[in-house]
Amino acid sequence: MVKSAKTPSKEVQIEEKDQKKGNELSDLAKKDLVKKMMRFLLMKGLNHEPLTRKEVMDNVLGEKYRKAGVLKFILNKADEKLQQGMGFKIKTPLPDKPWFVKDTFYVVNVLNNEQHFKEVLRGKGQAGRGLLVLVLSIVFCSSDKSVAENQLFKKLHDHVDKRVPEKAWNGNNPKNKVRVHVDGLGDVHEHLAMFAKQHYLLKKMVDKPTADGGTESIPHYSMGPRSVLEIGHRQLVELMAKVMGQSMDPSDLLGLEEQESQGLSQMATQEH
């Protein structure tokens, strides 16, 4: 059975002042705002898209309620109903974690059953799901939990599918991408762009020294906040072990989960 990841995150919590502001709304206004919030959150969750505070304010509260101080109250009510009825929950990484993205939160799948991973990646297709797992596995096995784009393509080419380009780009310009449509998969660059947009991956430009004494910016990928919140290191390791036909020592899995919950995993830090 695949378990939901135990992750270093915080959930929607309301204080007494938030409850007071919410109680000032009429019953009809509460009902309408909660329904509107649920529809918006569900749409974002099904599309695996991150949300920002501004998006919620603009699309749900609007001009009439954006200054009413009811955001947390409405989010909390919608969150409760989504979790009970749909298996989704609002989460955001804690601010002191390297995968934290300011003013951004996620509607994640929290089903605690063997369908969890399939539901998490629903809509990506079997090939897309497989590619994401492979990329996350490569990132996880890297010494600094980050992989350069060219190294990623090289590993995919050498160990997964020779049809994947051996290099991500031509020459020394990362913008000059090698575009190859792989039957049954499509363009790897397009998949990576989508994973980054959905925050399953974090993409960061890292300056590297060149032979002539200068520097060049190279794209690097690391595990994104949605992957941390929705999949987690433990579940990723379990999936990797299953693919390789190996079993994991429960104590190792527990240690990995504790390390993750304490934010000790050495993940590449995203610049904000």
Does residue 138 register a pLDDT over 80? yes
Burial of 228 (0-12, 13-18, 19+ CB in 10 A): buried
Architecture label for domain 118-261: Orthogonal Bundle (1.10)
CATH number, domain 9-110: 1.10.10.1200
pLDDT digits (tens, 9 = 90+) for 48-62: 899 998 999 999 999
Domain boundaries, the chain: 9-110, 118-261
Q: Which pLDDT belongs to residue 272? A: 30
Q: Which pLDDT belongs to residue 33? A: 97
Residue type, 104: T
Is there a shared CATH topology between the 9-110 domain and the 118-261 domain? yes
pLDDT digits (tens, 9 = 90+) for 196-236: 999 999 999 999 888 888 888 999 999 998 888 888 877 78
pTM of the model: 0.79
* 135 and 224 Cβ atoms separated by less than 8 Å: no
The residue assigned the tokens 């995203």 is 270
The whole-angstrom separation of Cα 272 and Cα 253 is: 31
Choose the weakest-confidence range: 13-17, 24-28, 119-123.
119-123
pLDDT digits (tens, 9 = 90+) for 83-100: 888 888 898 876 665 556
Q: Which pLDDT belongs to residue 84? A: 87
pLDDT band at residue 13 under the 50/70/90 scheme: low
Q: Which pLDDT belongs to residue 267? A: 32
First CA to last CA distance, the chain: 37
The whole-angstrom separation of Cα 7 and Cα 233 is: 9
